[in-house]
Structure 1
Amino acid sequence: MAPLQSLPEIDALPDSSSRPHSLAVSVPERDPLGLRSKIVDNLDSCHQKTRSFYARQNNFIEKCLASMNQNDALRKDREAQLHAEDLRVRIASYGSLIANILLFGLQLYTAISSKSLALFATMADSFMDLLSSAALVYAGWVTRYRADNSYQYPVGRRRTLGVGIVIFATLMVGLSIELLIESIRGLTSPKHDQNVSPANIACISVALGVKLIMLAYCWTLRHHAEARIFATDHMNDLILNAFGLAMALLGTHVVWWIDPVGGLLVGLFIMRSWASEAIGQARLLVGTTADTQFLSQLTYMAMVHDPRVQFVDTVRAYHIGEEKYVEIDIVMDQNTPLYESHDVGENLQILVERQEGVQRAHVHIDFDFHHPPEHHPKSQ
């Protein structure tokens, strides 16, 4: 999403000051830079790329204004919404665990009775799903309910879930390698006795139905890491089980080698999907930077937070797992009393920590921005 435009570019945009406010607040809206009047309406006649650009920019302006106009009622509503969503995420987690137990039982029966390599591959995937979903449920439970030792874990254990996801994805990649080996062995084997019965088809169909229901539920909560990983799991299972069943049927009734080829393709799919997930989560845990739009929003918040803020020196935000740490350096007059500068910095910190996805914010106050970096990396 495009960052905040420079002031000359904003001034060049068409005026839409008559546009009604979309924020339901009981106090006058804070808009010191006049961003509200720069929201561009009537985009239907614009070119698709132009319309897409201004739609993103309008959304960004709304987010900036909302971040500066959070009254207590809106904040409490947001907290209530998050609490309600947390309950839904727990339902998704435990429901997914139960679904994976059911799926593994059905897959185990189907794989043993049919002797199909493709179905053995999907059964192995179901077993790993069962173990990993149990691990994820435990990680989520630790994050929510275990009282953290403030000395042993000064900032809590919110990253436990991310570590669990990386372990989960690594196990799935290891499983996929084993599936590739077994499928190649099946292609070179002279014995081919797979047979898919109507009972096997019925079991897989029931499993697909349960997975489809859980996918639809988890997809509505995909902005939560825990629900998103389960949604990915259910989507993969739907594809793998449907594909595995099709390959097993073709291997039984058309050509025998289609079945081990199906197992090979299933293994490759698992490897690609979960290797990508592991890399993505590892980048978040290592501390990749936040997106440009979020950095621009933080810059705007620091700019207009208080008239005593003279300059915004540094704005930095980086991931610590799914959530983010924020560092902001602002410049105030050197004659500002300590109690005033403290209150300005603390209020900005509280405001930033109320933003979605921010775990902790640090605000540093200086009297000059002409100075070398205050934190030097240990290595380049």
Structure 2
Amino acid sequence: MVLWCNRAKVGVRKFYEKQNDLLEAWKEDEKVLTTTVDQAAQAEKDQRVKVWDTRLATITIILNVFLIIAKTTAAILSDSLSVVASVVDRLEPLTTLIVGLIMVFANLLVLQEAAVDSVTGNLHPKVDIPTLVILCTGTSIKAVLFLICRSRNTSASRVLAIDQRNDCITNLVALAGAYIGHRYWKYADPIGATCVSGFIIITWLMTVREQIPLLIGKTADPQLINRIVNIDHDGSMIGVPPIGHVAISHDDRIKHLDTVMDREISLCDAHDVSETLQNKLEQLSFVERAFVHCDYQFDGDEHV
């Protein structure tokens, strides 16, 4: 009996903690939506951010193309499995799922080659000046790009920063494995290749796992739904009856909102409500793009 009471108290406490978190989130949303900002200045600022993010993405793509060529040359010159593994890492994804699987299988082949060469003793890594220059230069450039992208602190630049960080890690491990294998202990090269390939495989498997729910769609978590419904039922938007039903799905930061309105509302009012709601949702930090769909019944096709 005492144990049951304790569990009940814990459950009640967690419930009220969640309610307090939700109330705080509502206050934050209300503050964002009621803050008056110079729209022209904000739009200009957002445009500058987008321009810089686009430039960083373009520089990264161009640099990756050159690094693929340079690191392929280094792999041929050094005959190092570690460098080969880091070259595979730079295959630019065309689509996340397909390339993710290709990356996994390609690195499994590198692991197989490392195991076979370790057993047979067919290991001849060599790291000369050109190989060192190529790998060190590429790593240095990637490190600088990582610092620049991290300092931008936007969603796009954070993704680029993670990419640069991973490149620096794989490059350093590949360089260390190849150099130690050439100078001191030849088995350091396949060990380095195993570390690089294992890191890439785990990273891409996690990426593929994250993409699967985004392909099939998923509903938002309850707290996000409550925050959006709170805005959805804000009677101050326009002088019309409140929306009666809300269904929310999302694709990461893209929210799809299906609403049911009174069938007597005019097309003009329905448009104004939907547009106002969409604009308000897109001001929230966890929403990048919002789509609002209107209907007059609960059992309508959500795709119509």
Give TM-score, length-normalised by structure 1.
0.63
Is the Cα–Cα contact under 8 Å of residues 125 and 172 in structure 1 kept in the other structure?
yes
1:98 aligns with 2:62: yes
Q: Secondary structure at the match of 1:360?
A: strand
Any residues of structure 2 matched to 1:310-321 within 5 Å, and which? 313-320=244-251
Structure 2 partner of 1:204? 135
Structure 1 partner of 2:87? 123
1:338 aligns with 2:265: yes
Structure 2 partner of 1:40? none
1:284 aligns with 2:214: yes
Displacement of 1:95:
0.3
Q: Secondary structure at the match of 2:260?
A: strand
Structure 2 partner of 1:88? 52
Is the Cα–Cα contact under 8 Å of residues 285 and 319 in structure 1 kept in the other structure?
no
Displacement of 1:106:
2.9
For residues 79 and 173 of structure 1, the distance between their equivalents in structure 2, rounded to whole angstroms, comes to: 41
Structure 2 partner of 1:325? 256
Q: Which residue identity does 2:201 align to in structure 1?
A: M
For residues 210 and 79 of structure 1, the distance between their equivalents in structure 2, rounded to whole angstroms, comes to: 32
Is the Cα–Cα contact under 8 Å of residues 104 and 205 in structure 2 kept in the other structure?
yes
Q: Which residue identity does 1:217 align to in structure 2?
A: I
For residues 256 and 86 of structure 2, the distance between their equivalents in structure 1, rounded to whole angstroms, comes to: 40
Candidates 177, 184, 187, aligned match of 1:257: 187
Structure 2 partner of 1:230? 160
Structure 1 partner of 2:29? 63
Q: Do the aligned partners of residues 56 and 198 (structure 1) sit closer, same or farther apart at CA in structure 2, a change above 3 Å counting?
A: farther
Q: Do the aligned partners of residues 310 and 351 (structure 1) sit closer, same or farther apart at CA in structure 2, a change above 3 Å counting?
A: closer
Displacement of 1:295:
1.9
For residues 228 and 277 of structure 1, the distance between their equivalents in structure 2, rounded to whole angstroms, comes to: 15
Q: Secondary structure at the match of 2:291?
A: strand
Provide Cα deviations, 1:62-85, integer angstroms capped at 9, x if missing partner: 223323x376x5444443333222
Displacement of 1:183:
1.6
Matched residues, number: 278
* Aligned-pair Cα RMSD in Å: 3.1
For residues 23 and 146 of structure 2, the distance between their equivalents in structure 1, rounded to whole angstroms, comes to: 32
For residues 249 and 139 of structure 2, the distance between their equivalents in structure 1, rounded to whole angstroms, comes to: 39
For residues 144 and 260 of structure 2, the distance between their equivalents in structure 1, rounded to whole angstroms, comes to: 48
Q: Do the aligned partners of residues 64 and 98 (structure 1) sit closer, same or farther apart at CA in structure 2, a change above 3 Å counting?
A: same
Q: Secondary structure at the match of 1:304?
A: coil
Any residues of structure 2 matched to 1:148-187 within 5 Å, and which? 164-187=95-118
Provide Cα deviations, 1:39-60, integer angstroms capped at 9, x if missing partner: xxxxxxxxxxx9xx97886455
Identity, % of aligned pairs? 18
Mean CA deviation greater in 314-323 or 114-123:
314-323
Give TM-score, length-normalised by structure 2.
0.77
Displacement of 1:97:
1.3
Candidates 216, 231, 253, aligned match of 1:301: 231
Q: Do the aligned partners of residues 338 and 344 (structure 1) sit closer, same or farther apart at CA in structure 2, a change above 3 Å counting?
A: closer
Q: Do the aligned partners of residues 56 and 201 (structure 1) sit closer, same or farther apart at CA in structure 2, a change above 3 Å counting?
A: farther
Displacement of 1:204:
1.4
**Which structure 1 segments of 5+ residues have no match?**
1-49, 136-163, 367-372
Displacement of 1:320:
4.3
Displacement of 1:175:
2.1
**Which structure 2 segments of 5+ residues have no match?**
1-16
Provide Cα deviations, 1:214-255, integer angstroms capped at 9, x if missing partner: 22333335513xx45433322211110111111222222332
Q: Which residue identity does 1:234 align to in structure 2?
A: Q
Q: Do the aligned partners of residues 87 and 316 (structure 1) sit closer, same or farther apart at CA in structure 2, a change above 3 Å counting?
A: same
Q: Secondary structure at the match of 2:249?
A: strand
